Amino acid sequence: MPGKRHGDIAKRVAEDVRIRRRFDLGLDQDSDIKKALPTYKNLAEQRRRELEGGIVIVGRPTFKEFMAGMCKGWTGSLEKVDPDEELARILENDNHFDEPEDPREFVDDAPSHPPSRPSPISSAQAPIFSPLQTHKPTPTPPIPSPKGASTHGPPSQIPPLSPLLLVPFTNHIGLQQIPLMIWGFFNQRHKVRAGAEAGYRLVMSNTRPIRIPDNVEELLTPTISDGDKTHIPQPSLDLGDLDFDKDGESYVKSSLSAMPEEIEKLRTKYYETLPAKLATARELTRGIREPTKAELENPPPTEVELRAERSKKERRWRDDLEGWEIIKPSTNPLWDERFRNVLRIFIDPPQDESEVDHTKSS
């Protein structure tokens, strides 16, 4: 389950859980073509095979994203939500693409009368999404939900889940960690041994219930200052298996903590330059002026292209912020009490006395 950016794994896990819940409730079924395949397994067989296997989680960031996706998947709605359509509804009324009452107000020196020469692009030739035809984009109607999808809330109990194989991993990044990178390059045997031991636990399939303190919800709840209403992080506490690979977070680059501020700077700069680009696009589309030589050689983006660009940038910024909020060192993994009796962890199998004696002698 690879992820190229922070938050990708959490979204994938949440979507997989949503699909599983729909299948378990009978809201969705496999297609007849899939059922005709010789390798097809019915739902009961699929669930049995999942429990016989496991889920490999490498590193604490992956563990945090996995837990965030599990909590969202087992708590969220069963309805399919298109992220692009959801973002479009959010951005629909943010006024960045609103038109002034007089289109000529886009530029101070706009002519007070139509150009004497024929405009290069007439209103009949304008794109279908041109502001000449629509003052505001028509909101996309929501996708109708299948009957019964909205009537099923989060389950009170979660069915048995595949056990987790937790594999520690620290990714050394930055100039200050170059000595550790060099040491790791010449000591690959430690990584090989750790990987072999993890694979051994997976093959032997010896598991135990996840260990979480009984008062974990109180420990994970931050306190709030009465003065400025800011969150005060809890002191270092033992969270059981939720502390998996926590020591590796001390190596996270401190510069990453400035990600929200950097994204806000990029957003501010982008929206400062957007009005000029939008004015140029509308002037050329409506024939208010002729394109310059430079604009003929490199046509500026149209309003439709500017809208698509803005949506792409906002999606990237929001996804990066959401992913960072999940994995940043000051954030603990999410937890749901329904996982207490269903999540299990792969551990080393018990050794008999002969194996222990052999280990000591060697």
Q: Sketch the domain layout of the chain as residue ranges.
A: 8-84+158-252+332-361, 99-135+259-317
Q: Is the pLDDT of residue 140 over 50?
A: no
| Residue 176 structure tokens | 């200050």
How many Å apart are CA 286 and CA 112, to the nearest integer?
14
Q: Is the pLDDT of residue 122 over 50?
A: no
The position carrying tokens 């690879």 is 2
The pLDDT assigned to 173 comes to: 78
Instruction: Tell me what the mean pLDDT of segment 185-201 comes to.
Output: 86
Q: Is the pLDDT of residue 113 over 60?
A: no
Q: Is the pLDDT of residue 203 over 50?
A: yes
How many Å apart are CA 7 and CA 276, to the nearest integer?
33
Instruction: Tell me what the mean pLDDT of segment 115-144 comes to.
Output: 42
Nearest to 7 by CA among 327, 298, 290: 327
Question: pLDDT higher for 174 or 274?
Answer: 274
Q: Is the pLDDT of residue 111 over 50?
A: no
Q: Is the pLDDT of residue 243 over 80?
A: yes
pLDDT tens figures, 44-82: 898 999 898 899 999 999 999 999 999 999 999 999 888
Nearest to 1 by CA among 72, 201, 19, 11: 11
In the 3-class helix/strand/coil scheme, how is 2-40 assigned residue by residue? CCCCCCHHHHHHHHHHHHHHHHHCCCCCCCHHHHCCCCC
How many Å apart are CA 304 and CA 122, to the nearest integer?
17
Q: Is the pLDDT of residue 176 over 60?
A: yes
Nearest to 215 by CA among 180, 185, 240: 240
Cβ contact 203:315 at 8 Å: no
The pLDDT assigned to 228 comes to: 44
Instruction: Tell me what the mean pLDDT of segment 12-38 comes to.
Output: 91
DSSP string computed for 105-126: GGSTT--SS--SSPPSS-GGGS
* Among the ranges given (35-49, 106-120, 173-187, 307-321), the one the predictor scored with the smallest mean pLDDT: 106-120
Q: What are the distances in angstroms from CA 345 to CA 184, 202, 330?
A: 27, 10, 24
Instruction: Tell me what the mean pLDDT of segment 112-138 comes to.
Output: 41
Residue 335 falls in which region: left (phi positive, over 0), alpha (psi -120 to 50) or beta: beta
How many Å apart are CA 332 and CA 348, to the nearest integer?
26
pLDDT tens figures, 293-341: 999 999 999 999 999 999 999 999 999 999 999 999 989 999 999 999 8
The pLDDT-based confidence of 248 (bands split at 50, 70, 90) is: confident
Q: Is the pLDDT of residue 199 over 60?
A: yes
The pLDDT assigned to 148 comes to: 52
The pLDDT-based confidence of 170 (bands split at 50, 70, 90) is: confident
The pLDDT assigned to 97 comes to: 85
Sign of CA dihedral 5, 7, 10, 12: negative
